[in-house]
Amino acid sequence: MSILPGPGLKAKLAARDRCLTTAVCTIPSAVVTQALAASGLDCVMVDLEHGAVDYASAHAMIAATQGSGCAPLVRVAENDTAQVKRALDLGAEGIVFPLIRSASDAARAVASLRYPPRGDRGFGPFIAQSRWGSNMARYRDDIEDSLVCCLLIETAEAVACIEEICATEGIDFLVLAGFDLSTSLGVSGQFEAPAFLDAVARIEAAARDADLPLGGVALDETQARALRARGYRMIGGFDALWLRQSASALKLWAET
């Protein structure tokens, strides 16, 4: 049993005809996260990798999604069981894993979301039980199969074995991280470079063949529509970039 309204993110991802939306939350603010959740986004990704968010802020941001249909995911700094455990124990509905390079990395990520014997998560959902409307006795059975595993594909090594990564049981969706991937390929920010386009095509084909939802970043409407046309199922942006873009637009409106 859960107090979460409507279907969770895992159920939404299972509806193959749906295109979902997300925002990476780099601003350590429950107010910003609450506004994003209220906008109708399907999930937010609280950023513990690159943002200014600490664990206390992350807990407040997760709690700020309560009462909405927006799932709070946490992007950890690395594929580390201790970091995953702590994020889940704050009430996260899933984890976004950076720098996945191999199928063994993917399998380790999946295992960190589950308790023994299915995985290696330590037990201590003292905070998470309240977020989910469960209790200590029921938490494991109530929650474990609702948790979402997202992998960031952002390295040349991941591209080289993307088919094996996609075959790993327990992955819910992938996100193609273009800035990191282009940098890893030696063509940082050059999104029309042949090496980058070839890598993107291979990732898209592998995700499609494995029937895995694929996500990408859109900085404007044209990019969002292009991703949707290519079959991407999760389209996202960044809170800090949206804030700057909106403020820049206001300045332009006022000065012209």
Active site (catalytic) residues: 50
Give the Cβ contact number of residue 36 at 10 Å.
26
Give the Cβ contact number of residue 191 at 10 Å.
12
Give the Cβ contact number of residue 107 at 10 Å.
16
Q: Please state, in angstroms and rounded to a whole number, the distance separating the CA atoms of residues 238 and 26.
A: 7
Helix axes 81-89, 103-112, angle to 10 degrees: 40
Contact predicate 141/181, CB 8 Å = no
Look up residue 29 and give its DSSP letter: -
